[in-house]
Every structure is written in C-alpha cells, then in structure tokens.
C-alpha cells in the first residue's frame, strides 16, 4: 500500500476539499501526467492506501475532513507559512492567521501531525538575509510548542519561475537574487540556531549541496508514528525520491498543475496565475480529475 500525497502541486485543503471528499467516497480519482499527458487512476479505497500527506497554506476549510480522515487513516500536514510580502505571495492567508490555524490543528492532532514549511525563501533587495532571520524568528516564536520540525529551502529558479520573479521585480523595482552556497550556509546556520532554541528541528528540502539536515517531506516513519497514535495499521514504505537529493517515501500525488490560486510568483506548478484563478472560479467537485485540465489543454 502507498501513501497518498494531496498535493504538492496544488492546495487541496484550501481550495478543493469538496472534490477530495467526493473522490474518497467514490473510491478513486484520476490524475494526468504533466509530462506526457497520460491519464491514470489512483485508488482511494480505504484498504488500498496506508495514509495521507496533505500540503497546504490554509487548512481551516479542511478541518472537518482532517477529523474524518483521522478516523480511518494516519496523516501528516505539510503547512507552509513564510511571511513573504504580497509582491511574492499575492493571495495567501496572513501569517498570523496561518499560525493560529496550526495551533488549533496541533491542539486536536498533536505537534507530530504538522510540519511547518518555511519554504521556499526568496532573497530580494528589500528582503535580504537579515530580514529573513527576523521574519523566521517571529514565526518560530508563534509556532514553538505546536510543531517540532520546520522544513526550509531556497527558491529553485526554474525557467518559468525566473519569468514570474522577473515580472514581479519589474513591477516593484525590487530585484531578486540567488545567493552563493556560502551565503546560504550562513543563513541556514542562523536559522538552525533560532529553531533549536525553540525546540524545532530544522531540515532542508532537496538541496544536498547545502550543509543542513535533509528533509523527508513524505516521511513514512512519521506517518507510521501517527498511525500508532491514532490506532491504525502500521505504515511502511520504501524511499523513492522524486529528484536528486529527495529522501521522500514512495507515494502517489493526486495533483493537477495550474490549479492553485495562492498567486506565489516563485511557484513551479503554476505559470499562469490568472488561469489558476479561473479554475477556482469555475471549479466543479464532481469529475474524477481535479478541475483545470480542460482549461490547460484548451
């Protein structure tokens, strides 16, 4: 049995919880491979998967579904709170709102159920390393005692990411940069010290050239720990990373690109943010495939 990832390429808890609930009741969903366009079925029958990893910036609309999920399967929540300015994250909930939500969820499920993602960090003229240290400290102060791990990374500058970051820089006059390894290591050392002082383990997502503990975002051991806590069957999965340096366990992501409307300009899964907002506007929870495929191919 495998772990279901929902989803590292869109925010199902924030935007598509009704679709997720409908697909669990139906027992399956469909996913289209972004590279070859082929569609395949993913079983959501209770006996055919072992647990979930949810990815979100706003789990509040998903609270009832988390409670229902806890009755049948273990889960982890990868919850992103960065505190970046609106120029980089146009429509995410305020950091303080997300912190309150994490505290509430942790109170119901325990701190092991949630991993805080301070991911990715984007260095700009207005937000240099010193700003990130102060920002991280404020967020860590708010989350200490409610989570025990923080995953961070530096923005991966893919070609489509570069285009969107350049547009944001042109609009704001605030240039971005990709620091060298020495500067990244210095910043991570400072963040690690801050995290450790607050009882948080800091790990780094899929950047093995930087000196830091590697993250396991799809962590079978942690999901297994939640299974024991919730009284469910054990979760065992082999390591099968998605790219070099990735230590994630084998999973199936019920994804769809171009569907997240948080408006993060550094996002690798959304190129056209106007299109993503249209997807949400016309979202239909009924089809087996998450909304947006027809608009993408049109």
Instruction: Indicate if the pLDDT at residue 292 is higher than 80.
Output: no
Averaged pLDDT of the chain: 93
pLDDT at 67: 94
Contacting residues for 23 by C-beta, under 8 A, at least 6 apart: 29, 44, 254, 288
**% of the chain at pLDDT higher than 70:** 98
For 166-213, the pLDDT digits (tens) are: 999 999 999 999 999 999 999 999 999 999 999 999 999 989 888 788
Most confident of 15-24, 101-110, 233-242: 15-24
Given a contact cutoff of 8 angstroms between Cβ atoms, the answer to whether 98 and 58 are in contact is yes
- Which band of pLDDT confidence, cut at 50, 70 and 90, is reported for residue 34? confident
Domain count, the chain: 1
Instruction: Indicate if the pLDDT at residue 295 is higher than 70.
Output: no
Q: Measuring CA to CA, which residue among 114, 172, 185, 171 is closest to residue 145?
A: 114
Measured CA distances, 70 to 45, 93, 99, 110, 232 (Å): 15, 25, 21, 12, 9
Note down the domain range covering 114: 2-297
How many angstroms separate the CA atoms of 113 and 256, rounded? 24
Q: In this structure, what CATH number is given to the domain that contains residue 164?
A: 3.80.30.30
């Amino acid at each position: 049995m495998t772990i279901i990832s929902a989803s590292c390429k869109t925010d199902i808890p924030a935007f598509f919880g009704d679709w997720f609930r409908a697909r669990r009741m139906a027992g399956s969903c469909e996913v289209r491979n972004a590279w070859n366009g082929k569609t395949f079925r993913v079983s959501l029958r209770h006996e055919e998967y072992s647990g979930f990893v949810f990815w979100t910036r706003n789990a509040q609309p998903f609270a009832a579904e988390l409670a229902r999920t806890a009755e049948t399967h273990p889960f982890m929540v990868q919850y992103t709170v960065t505190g970046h300015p609106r120029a980089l994250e146009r429509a995410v909930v305020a950091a303080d709102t997300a912190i309150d939500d994490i505290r509430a969820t942790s109170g119901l499920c325990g701190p092991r159920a949630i991993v805080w993602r301070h991911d990715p960090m984007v260095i700009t003229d207005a937000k240099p390393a010193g700003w990130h240290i102060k920002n991280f400290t404020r967020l860590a102060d708010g989350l200490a005692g409610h989570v025990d791990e923080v995953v961070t990374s530096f923005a991966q500058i893919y070609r489509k990411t570069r285009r969107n970051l350049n547009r944001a820089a042109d609009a704001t006059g605030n240039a971005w940069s990709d620091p060298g390894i020495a500067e990244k290591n210095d910043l991570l050392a400072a963040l690690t010290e801050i995290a450790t002082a607050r009882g948080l383990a800091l790990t780094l997502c899929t950047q093995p050239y930087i000196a830091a503990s590697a993250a396991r975002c799809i962590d079978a051991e942690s999901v297994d720990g939640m299974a024991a806590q919730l009284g469910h069957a054990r979760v065992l999965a082999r390591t099968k990373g998605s790219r070099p340096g990735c230590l994630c366990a084998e999973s199936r992501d019920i994804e769809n690109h171009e569907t997240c409307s948080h408006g993060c300009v550094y996002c690798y899964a959304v190129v056209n943010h106007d299109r993503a907002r249209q997807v949400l506007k016309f979202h239909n929870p009924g089809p087996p495939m998450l909304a947006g495929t027809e608009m993408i191919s049109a």
